[in-house]
Amino acid sequence: METEQKDTEDQGDTKTFKDLGIIEELCEACTRLGWTAPTAIQKEAIPQALNDRDVIGLAETGSGKTGAFGLPLLQALISRPQRLFGLVLTPTRELAFQIKEQFEALGKAVGVACVVIVGGMDITQQALELGKRPHIIVATPGRLVDHLEKTKGFNLKALKYLVMDEADRILNMDFEEEVDKILKVLPRDRRTMLFSATMTSKVNKLQRAHLKDPVKVEVSSKYQTVSKLQQYMLFIPCKHKHIYLAYILNEIGNKSVIIFCATKLSTLKTALMLRNLGFTAIPLYGKMSQNKRLGALHKFKAKERSILLATDVASRGLDIPCVDFVINFDVPMHSKDYIHRVGRTARAGKSGNAITFVSQYEVEVYQRIEQLLNTKLDVYPTVKEEAMILEERIVEAERCAKLEMARIEEKTGKRGKKRDHFEDDTEESLGVRNRINKDKKKRFRK
């Protein structure tokens, strides 16, 4: 396998999309999106793909990966228009919607029809959309298999282009059965592109995707995070995490922040606690229904909420512009998840900050991340006395949050509701709290 490796900071190179071989209509679409020049991964991957090569692309999140596979796919489609031409597989539903948005934005002028096929959405409606035979399908593996098995008249026998985004995850055990079923029904005579920030080193996994003499393009060395990202750590006792969180949020002012927590419960509890202090916070985790997840994301993107509390389900692939800070409230158990989490900030050339809270229980897991990054992170500057002034206030906010959680659990339990309604009630109660606490916030903020 050939490998093309380039430095991300290739400053001297002023190539345009046209120089890479992109046709006029798509160059214009890039300009409309404000993409003035190709990103490093686009410079490397696009010419290879246009040259009809299978590509394995290794690039960090926020590097413009979607454009790197989207533009060649669309160009191939435009040159040989055909229904059910391309399939993009992604591991998460949110990522699928984001990819569709980019495809539609790039392919608008040429009338590209693209559908999203993911779980948690109405399957009959999806079958109708597939019946219209779109040009491109963006799908999560499980739901696509459902349609391949059950939707009358739907097949991918004529497919010309397969993309796997976050391919390391798609090819690992989680999706093994589904991916095997999909690959079995795809024609071998097709182009394949695999993209990921982290890639499995096990070549046999890649072979499952039936790549033909692929060229590997790489724009950063192993597990590097984007260069405009300032990364810090903070070693604090576990019981003081909420205190330091509130202290930092207060210090940084009205910034857009994603806070990663280890569990759904922790996202909810911390969201309620922050709301008690007057911050606008919203939780996002895997067990929420698709509509609730999209709703939470929309509120955050629209800046109706400045703080998003998420479990790792939200750490991959989400394209949320202008996230100023990522705070790892809990150290991720898997070191590679650290890369994906902090990849939510410092996207597309912007700068960003990541702070990882490390408690006495997390030292070992944290050290594995430092080993992976091959660097020691600076300590985030804080003044302990100033943080600890907040202790009493935080203890009270935590107490209220606990009561609130118990009330919600009792309410949902009594009504025998499905799990989804849990966050309905949370949002509802958060909403009430938010109104009550509007004036509290003024008092809390310095």
8-state DSSP, 222: T
Among 20, 22, 29, 38, binds ligand AMP (CB under 6 A): 38
Q: Which amino acid is at 14?
A: T
- Give least dist CB 298 to ligand AMP, A: 16
- Give least dist CB 275 to ligand AMP, A: 29
- Give least dist CB 143 to ligand AMP, A: 22
3-state DSSP assignment of residue 234:
strand
72 lines the binding site for ligand AMP (CB under 6 A)? no
365 lines the binding site for ligand AMP (CB under 6 A)? no
Neighbours of 371 (CB within 10 A): 11
Among 47, 57, 64, 107, binds ligand AMP (CB under 6 A): 64
67 lines the binding site for ligand AMP (CB under 6 A)? yes
Q: How many Cα atoms within 13 Å fall on the side-chain side of residue 60?
A: 28
Q: 100 phi and psi, to 5 degrees?
A: -60, -45
63 lines the binding site for ligand AMP (CB under 6 A)? yes
Q: 15 phi and psi, to 5 degrees?
A: -65, 145
Q: 219 or 397, CB closer to ligand AMP? A: 219
Q: 165 or 178, CB closer to ligand AMP? A: 165
- Give least dist CB 10 to ligand AMP, A: 13
- Give least dist CB 195 to ligand AMP, A: 9
- Give least dist CB 322 to ligand AMP, A: 10
Query: Rounded CA gap, 291 and 234, in Å?
Result: 35
Q: 227 or 360, CB closer to ligand AMP? A: 227
Among 20, 22, 29, 39, binds ligand AMP (CB under 6 A): 39
8-state DSSP, 140: -
DSSP H or E segment with residue 5 = strand 2-5
3-state DSSP assignment of residue 163:
strand
Structural contact between residues 271 and 288, judged by C-beta atoms closer than 8 angstroms:
no
**What distances in angstroms separate CA 87 from CA 137, 167, 194, 266, 289, one per listed residue?**
5, 13, 12, 36, 24
Among 20, 22, 35, 136, binds ligand AMP (CB under 6 A): 35
Structural contact between residues 145 and 182, judged by C-beta atoms closer than 8 angstroms:
yes
Q: 319 or 330, CB closer to ligand AMP? A: 319
Size of the site for ligand AMP (CB under 6 A): 14
Query: Rounded CA gap, 55 and 48, in Å?
Result: 7
Query: Rounded CA gap, 432 and 186, in Å?
Result: 51
Q: 196 or 434, CB closer to ligand AMP? A: 196
62 lines the binding site for ligand AMP (CB under 6 A)? yes
Binding span for ligand AMP by CB under 6 A among 60-68, 148-156, 270-278, 380-388? 60-68
- Give least dist CB 62 to ligand AMP, A: 5
8-state DSSP, 445: -
Among 44, 55, 66, 198, binds ligand AMP (CB under 6 A): 66
Structural contact between residues 83 and 115, judged by C-beta atoms closer than 8 angstroms:
no
Q: 348 or 405, CB closer to ligand AMP? A: 348
- Give least dist CB 319 to ligand AMP, A: 5
Q: Which amino acid is at 201?
A: S
8-state DSSP, 370: H
- Give least dist CB 69 to ligand AMP, A: 9
343 lines the binding site for ligand AMP (CB under 6 A)? no
Q: 69 or 85, CB closer to ligand AMP? A: 69
Neighbours of 210 (CB within 10 A): 13
Query: Rounded CA gap, 407 and 396, in Å?
Result: 17
**What distances in angstroms separate CA 392 from CA 139, 230, 243, 267, 396, one per listed residue?**
48, 31, 9, 21, 6
Among 53, 147, 191, 347, binds ligand AMP (CB under 6 A): 347
Q: Which amino acid is at 273?
A: M
Nearest CA to 87 out of 157, 136, 29 is that of: 136
319 lines the binding site for ligand AMP (CB under 6 A)? yes
293 lines the binding site for ligand AMP (CB under 6 A)? no
- Give least dist CB 105 to ligand AMP, A: 8
65 lines the binding site for ligand AMP (CB under 6 A)? yes
Q: 35 or 285, CB closer to ligand AMP? A: 35
What does R_g of the chain's alpha carbons equal in angstroms?
Answer: 23
- Give least dist CB 299 to ligand AMP, A: 19
Q: 88 or 277, CB closer to ligand AMP? A: 88
- Give least dist CB 239 to ligand AMP, A: 37
Q: 211 phi and psi, to 5 degrees?
A: -75, 145
Residues at the site binding ligand AMP, with contacts judged by CB under 6 A: 35, 38-39, 42, 61-67, 319, 347-348
